Amino acid sequence: MRRVDTLVVGGGPAGAAAACELALRDCDTILVERSGGPHHKVCGEFLSVETLTYLRRLGVDAMTLGAVPVETVSICTDDRVASASLPFHALSLSRYVLDGALLQRAADLGVSVQRGVLVRRVERIGRGWIATCDDGAIIGCNHLVLATGKVGLRGIEDTRDGSMVGLKMHLSAAADLRHELAGRVELFLFGRGYAGLELVEGGNANLCCLVERDVARSVGTDWNRLRTFLAIANDRLGMRLSRAEPMWDRVLAVTCPQGGHLNRDGGGRLYRVGDRAAHIPPFTGDGLAIALGTGTLAATCIAEDRGAADYAEAARRLGRRPVRLAGLVSRLMARPAVRRMMIGAASRIPALTATAVRGTRLPGHRHGGVSRKRSTWWPEGCLPSHR
């Protein structure tokens, strides 16, 4: 059995951020990721100001990876469009590129990154944990960082609603469509979900949808079925998709909670990060910021010996306001009459959209920067005092 101070299970942004921060603080860390190499994931691929702040802290420059600027957000129904300038600098970059860069950064910092290894189960032993992997390896650790995204892990009780399904396809866009989407993220609302469309590196477009489970069941992973459903659900989106071709053989899919979710469990040297800690409705574009923020926060608490209970409290403080507000907006938008009223008001008063965007940001990043002091860089009131 191999022993390590901290085991990170999952190599997405949350797990990679935790591993990078631990390495920067000279902590003995192993990261285990079940995929053997880079791959696409269901994600809006929007990098908000908070996300860019965390990436800079970890030493990752999104622009050098090919990220493209996003300056405007448009919210579209069949008969109305509400557009506004984003109140901050934002970029768009595929998870294929971003996740690979974060894991490479972790490895460069000295983290033992093990790819193509699946942790089948974990067990609490004394004050630590024992993880059993599919290759027969057994890893003992003092601290366990759970970064498995929307997938749970055997040995840890963590059930949640899965009534929605996220669907994703990268598209090869016609030249005129690329021109129209340049610098924009477009959100399309319809009765049984919503979809986002924006350019990523290479001039391709990312389409990411959130739909009810029965819709996803009827569509499956067939692109033509999904395109037909979306064209009927939202005429404007259908017109966009008529000028684009799929880049993959099948649509990617993952189950998601309805609305927002904050995990309330804490303690036991277990640190839930990313989607295991909090889930914010995807239309906010701050899911990556929560992943990077909670991952870095968990590493901070481990390195400073604050404990998992303090981490859980701090993670809730970090995500409480934006998750609750975004969850409320998501529930309101599900009602057709309210949705029409809100979009109508936003189309007449563009500042309303910018206000909603600011309200669903994580705290402490309104000016795009944080303190460089290791133990005090968190937003005011987020990181608890030592007990």
Q: What pLDDT was estimated at residue 258? A: 75
Chain centroid to CA 19: 17
**Above pLDDT 90, what percent of the chain?**
64
Per-residue pLDDT at 337? 81
Residue with the bigger pLDDT between 188 and 385: it is 188
pLDDT confidence of residue 364: 57
Q: 252-296, pLDDT tens digit by residue?
A: 999 987 777 788 777 789 999 999 998 888 888 889 999 999 999
Is residue 36 scored above 80 in pLDDT?
yes
**What value does the mean pLDDT take over residues 194-205?**
96
Question: Mean pLDDT throughout 332-338?
Answer: 78
Instruction: Please tell me which residue, 158 or 4, carries the higher pLDDT value.
Output: 4
- Mean pLDDT (the chain) is 88
Out of 10-24, 100-114, 261-275, least confident range = 261-275
pTM (global) more than 0.85: yes
Q: pLDDT tens-digit profile of 337-381? A: 877 788 888 878 877 777 777 777 777 544 333 333 444 445 554
Q: All domains of the chain, ordered by start, with CATH?
A: 2-43+93-160+261-334 (3.50.50.60)
* Lowest-confidence region among 93-107, 144-158, 163-177, 241-255: 144-158
Least-confidence region, from 60-69, 309-318, 319-328 = 319-328
pLDDT band at 65 (very low <50, low <70, confident <90, very high): very high
How many angstroms separate the CA atoms of 216 and 228, rounded?
A: 13
The pLDDT, as a whole number, for residue 367 is: 36
Predicted local confidence at residue 133, as pLDDT: 96
Instruction: Label residue 383 by pLDDT band (50, 70, 90).
Output: low
Lowest mean pLDDT among 5-19, 135-149, 328-342: 328-342
Instruction: Compute the average pLDDT of residues 291-304.
Output: 95
Residues 42-55: tens digit of each pLDDT: 999 999 999 999 99
| pLDDT exceeds 90 at position 123 | yes
How does pLDDT run across 143-172, given as a tens digit for each residue? 999 999 888 888 887 776 678 999 999 999
**Per-residue pLDDT at 235 exceeds 60:** yes
pLDDT of residue 377: 45
In this prediction, residue 238 has a pLDDT band, given cuts at 50, 70 and 90, of: very high
